[in-house]
Structures are given as C-alpha cells and as structure tokens.
Structure 1
Amino acid sequence: MTARRIPQGQAGSGKWADLSRRVASTLVLLAIGVLLAVAQGPWLRLGMAVISAITFWELAAMTGWRNPARHVTLFGRSRPIALAAIAGLSQAVALTGLPLAWMALAVPILLGLPGAARRDRATYALFGIAILIVAFGLVGFRENYGLNFVLWLMGVIIISDTAGYFFGRMLGGPKFWPALSPKKTWSGTVAGWIGSCLFGAILWMAGQGDAALIWVSPLVCFAGQMGDLAESWLKRRAGKKDSSNLIPGHGGFMDRFDAVTGAVLAAMLIGFLTRLPVVN
C-alpha cells in the first residue's frame, strides 16, 4: 500500500516540518552501513550494483529520459529502467576485479548520453560518473580500509546532517546558498563542520584512529554538504521536488544518497593526494 504524500506544510509546522525527512535520511544511511557490515564478496558487489541501478534510474528521469517520445538508437523507445539495468550490470562487471573491468563504468555513460535532453547531457555525464565511482569506491573502502573506515564516513555524514539540521533551525541566521537550498543556514553548515571535527577528535582520543581524523572529518563533512547542494541544483533544474517517490512521502534514493556521494568522492580524492586516516 503506497502512502499518500502529505502536502508540504501539513506534515509538520514551522521550522521542524521536515524532521521526518531527516530521520528517513539517517535510516537509509544506517541501512547502507548495515549492508556494508554484513555483506562481503559477491553480496557486497551485488548490493552496490543495485544501488547504482536505482540512482541511475532517478538520474535518467531527471535529465530528459522521462520523455517517452525520446528515441535512442541502441534501445529504441527506451525508458529510464533500461538504462538503470545497464548501469547495474556495468557496475557488477566493474566490481569483478578483473583486469580493466573498471572500464565497464563508462558503458552507461556512453550509451545513455544520446538519450538525455540536449541541455542536460553534461549534467547526466557528470552525475552519472559520480554515482558509479562512489558505489565502486565504497566497495574499495570496505575491502581495503575495513568496515570501521566506512562506518566513520557514514558517521560523519549523519553527524553533519543532524547537527546542521537542529542547530540551523534553532539558531537560524543567514542562508548558506538560498538559490539552491532555501532552508540551509550558515549556522547549521558550520555546526556540521564542528560536529564532524569533534567526532574525529573523540575517535582519536579513544584510540580508534589517528590524529588525521580531526582535520579530514570536517573536509569530508563539507564535501557531503556540497553533494547535498549539487543534488538540490539538479532537482531544481529538472523542475522536481524529489528525485523520485521510491520512499513514499520522503522522496527518492538520490535524496538520501547525495551527501554520501560528496563524502566518498572527497575521501577518494584525499586518498589520491595524501594518506587517508586510519580508523581502528
């Protein structure tokens, strides 16, 4: 039974009206953490392939593929579900670990590009690459850096989102980027940085990681916030409130996965430029 979407403003009142969305975000992140905790080997790869497929389905629907009349030579009259299946299969192939298997990540980008609206092709390519790399990178982090490293990443995102939400609503003040996110404030944004920094410091003092956690955590936090804003920009460009209705009343998977995308990309970049922190 599908829950009826409650119009904005009726689900709550005042500055706490979207609290349920924040709870939904946290639950999705916890679910990802549980998946990464209990799944190993082929099951872990299958989970990331499914995540890639779901988010690609939403991306396709926001970049022109939602037009039923759009024609793509290789697919005929295609739908986002076809591209989603290709993205999931490509991710599964890339995660086999075979030589050059990672090149399969380019398949849904190249095949799907002609089907995107002309003005959205660059957007489709950039967001599509990010989706595939993040799912691929999460498997690499889980297997090469361990479960605790991934849980630290998820912890930073949850703390950033929670601290940003509550302190932003309580303190208010100037908006961080009103054109993209009219509710996000500077007070909430900075609260996320401080909260993630304290999280890293607590882990270090407890002997659960090295001192690099103190400065890497807020960087990852900031990247997660930028991922949130990037997805907000994409939805505004597509004229949609949510990426989909997969979570009745709470939007789509990209709405819950946006901060993870930014955080994981930042961690991968930091790991490329220097040493990532150790999390015990």
Structure 2
Amino acid sequence: MKTPLSAHASKANRWADLGPRTASAVVLVLLGGAAIYLGNLAFALFVSLSVGAVFWEVTRMYRTDGSLLALGFGALAAAAVCVASIVPLFLALLVLAVPMVVGTRILEERNLSFLAILVWVLLGGFGLIWMREGMGVTWTIWLISVVVATDVAGYFAGKTFGGPKLWPAVSPKKTWSGTSGGWGAAAGVGLVFALFVGLPWSLVWISVLVSMASQAGDIVESAVKRYRNVKDSSQIIPGHGGVFDRFDGMLGAGALCFLIAIIWG
C-alpha cells in the first residue's frame, strides 16, 4: 500500500520529463517553423539533416562497433535526400536508392528490418519535402499540426487516464487512452483547418488516418529499440532521446501522405 508521500513522489515522477521535453519541443518548433516558412533549400536541409541523423542512430543500433561508419552513412543519406529534393521525381527515386544499396553492404548479415527502416525513413523524409514544395505551407502546417497534436494529446491523456496498454510487448508505456486521445486531437486539427482555413471537410477523417500513421511510426520505432535492446536511439534531444525518437511519427505521416499522393495523384 502506498503512503501519501510515496503516492506524491510517484505522481511527480510521472511528469518528471515534462520540463526538458517541453523546452526541447519549443526549440524544435522554432527551427522547424522557420524552415517551413523559408521553404526551398532551408526546409530541404532541415529534413535532410534529420534523416541523416536518423540513419546515424539506426546504424549504431545495428552496428555497435561502427560509430564512424554510422556517421558516414548518415551523411550519405542526408546528401541523397537533399539532392533528391531538387531533381525530377524519376531521378529522385534513383538518388534515394543509393543509400539503400550501401545499406545492404553495411551489415555483416542481411537484416530485413534494417533495410525496411531505411526505406521508410527515406520515403517519409522525401515526402515531407515534397509536400512543402508541391502543396505549400498550409498543407505542411496541417500535417505537422496533426502529428504534434497526436503526440501531445497522447502524452497527456495517457499520463492522466492511464488504463489498458495498447501493445505492452512492444511499447509498455502506450495506453489506449493516449492513443484514442491522439485520434481525437487529430480530428480536431482537421476540423479547425476545414472551418478556418478552407481545406476540405474530408480532412477531419484524413487527419485521423495520418494520426494513426504517426502512431504506427512511433510503435515501429519502439519495436526496433526493443529488438535491439536500447532505450533511446541516442541522447541528442533532452527529454526525447534521439532524432528518431522525436521524428518517428512525422516520418510515418510523411510517408503515408506521399504514398497517397503517388497512388491517387
């Protein structure tokens, strides 16, 4: 049985990461917001560097003896995404294939999960750049708002209400209350953009789909960390861990939107 003091300490510990998490989020929002506003090369560089950092982190997860190798691979991925953003689409796909070819040679034994992650990260990163340049600032802000709302609402709903776990074997901290809270927040973002920005009403349910893709990205990253027995992808961002920990949902949402655009035009 918990004493009042231990219960208070438990409650305090529940929110212990809120301070550094909030500070880091503010910095990321300012940097990302400036990049979105400037667009073109500024946004392409921001996303490319993020993708490169994720490649560095993922490679370190799979090759603990290859820090220098991981750094070089991350630089290659960042360069590939940046170049792909300024060439025609058919050439962009060829450029993005280069890190994939190199990725098949990095591990001493073939690992499909490693290659699948590389494809997802490249597609998600390129999708974000494509959306900013092809659909404009408004749609890009909508996408990012959905992901951020999903993450924030999921965090507070999960911490506040708790309840049954979503998938304890993969991500023991995620709850159904947090997950459904994220869906509700995403629908709210879609409603706001439909009411006040003039985007189509279908954006309400599309926002929920994007929210699910964002959460799927988060779950996949959690599964990879559990599979590789690591707590965080790195310690670059205080309160969040690594770049992959922070951008997994954004990459999932970006990949979904890009695939929808390609399939349905």
Where 1:55 maps in the other structure, the secondary structure is: helix
Distance 1:274 1:210 in 2: 16
C-alpha deviation, 1:140, in angstroms: 1.0
Q: Which runs of 4+ in 1 moved over 6 A?
A: none
Q: What is the aligned partner in structure 1 of residue 35 from structure 2?
A: 36
Distance 1:124 1:164 in 2: 27
Q: What is the aligned partner in structure 2 of residue 230 from structure 1?
A: 220
Judging changes above 3 Å, is the alpha-carbon distance between structure 1 residues 229 and 186 closer, same or farther for their aligned structure 2 residues? same
Listed one character per residue, the Cα deviations across residues 41-79 of structure 1 (whole Å, up to 9, x for unaligned) are: 333333332222111111111122x224xxxxxxxx952
C-alpha contact 1:201 1:211 (8 A) present in aligned 2: yes
Distance 2:220 2:82 in 1: 26
Judging changes above 3 Å, is the alpha-carbon distance between structure 1 residues 25 and 137 closer, same or farther for their aligned structure 2 residues? farther
Q: TM-score, normalised by structure 2?
A: 0.87
Q: What is the aligned partner in structure 1 of residue 211 from structure 2?
A: 221
C-alpha deviation, 1:244, in angstroms: 0.9
Q: What is the aligned partner in structure 2 of residue 261 from structure 1?
A: 251
C-alpha contact 1:137 1:268 (8 A) present in aligned 2: yes
C-alpha deviation, 1:114, in angstroms: 2.1
Distance 2:84 2:30 in 1: 23
Distance 1:216 1:62 in 2: 33
C-alpha RMSD of the superposition: 2.4
Judging changes above 3 Å, is the alpha-carbon distance between structure 1 residues 207 and 50 closer, same or farther for their aligned structure 2 residues? closer
Query: Aligned to 2:107, which of 116, 119, 138?
Result: 116
Where 1:184 maps in the other structure, the secondary structure is: strand
Judging changes above 3 Å, is the alpha-carbon distance between structure 1 residues 215 and 273 closer, same or farther for their aligned structure 2 residues? farther
Structure 2 letter corresponding to 1:185: T
Judging changes above 3 Å, is the alpha-carbon distance between structure 1 residues 244 and 113 closer, same or farther for their aligned structure 2 residues? same
Q: What is the aligned partner in structure 1 of residue 17 from structure 2?
A: 18
**Which segments of 5 or more consecutive residues in structure 1 lack a partner in the other structure?**
1-9, 69-76, 276-280
C-alpha contact 1:227 1:262 (8 A) present in aligned 2: yes
C-alpha deviation, 1:256, in angstroms: 0.4
Aligned residue runs from structure 1 range 135-154, under 5 A:
135-154=125-144
Q: What is the aligned partner in structure 1 of residue 4 from structure 2?
A: none
Judging changes above 3 Å, is the alpha-carbon distance between structure 1 residues 86 and 149 closer, same or farther for their aligned structure 2 residues? same
Q: What is the aligned partner in structure 2 of residue 67 from structure 1?
A: 65
- Higher share in helix: 2
**Which segments of 5 or more consecutive residues in structure 2 lack a partner in the other structure?**
1-8
1:185 aligned to 2:175? yes
Aligned residue runs from structure 1 range 116-135, under 5 A:
116=107, 118=109, 121-135=111-125
Listed one character per residue, the Cα deviations across residues 174-215 of structure 1 (whole Å, up to 9, x for unaligned) are: 001111211111011111111111221122122431101111
C-alpha deviation, 1:31, in angstroms: 4.0
Structure 2 letter corresponding to 1:16: W
Distance 2:24 2:185 in 1: 18
Q: What is the aligned partner in structure 2 of residue 102 from structure 1?
A: 93
Distance 1:24 1:233 in 2: 27
Distance 2:243 2:52 in 1: 11
C-alpha deviation, 1:147, in angstroms: 0.6
Distance 1:95 1:55 in 2: 18
C-alpha contact 2:124 2:253 (8 A) present in aligned 1: no
Judging changes above 3 Å, is the alpha-carbon distance between structure 1 residues 100 and 274 closer, same or farther for their aligned structure 2 residues? closer
1:169 aligned to 2:159? yes
Judging changes above 3 Å, is the alpha-carbon distance between structure 1 residues 43 and 11 closer, same or farther for their aligned structure 2 residues? farther
Deviates more, 1:36-45 or 1:182-191: 36-45
Judging changes above 3 Å, is the alpha-carbon distance between structure 1 residues 101 and 85 closer, same or farther for their aligned structure 2 residues? same
C-alpha contact 1:36 1:142 (8 A) present in aligned 2: no
Q: TM-score, normalised by structure 1?
A: 0.82
C-alpha contact 1:157 1:221 (8 A) present in aligned 2: yes
Deviates more, 1:178-187 or 1:264-273: 264-273
Where 2:173 maps in the other structure, the secondary structure is: strand
C-alpha deviation, 1:152, in angstroms: 0.7
Judging changes above 3 Å, is the alpha-carbon distance between structure 1 residues 263 and 25 closer, same or farther for their aligned structure 2 residues? farther
Listed one character per residue, the Cα deviations across residues 214-260 of structure 1 (whole Å, up to 9, x for unaligned) are: 11001100110111111111111111111012124541111100110
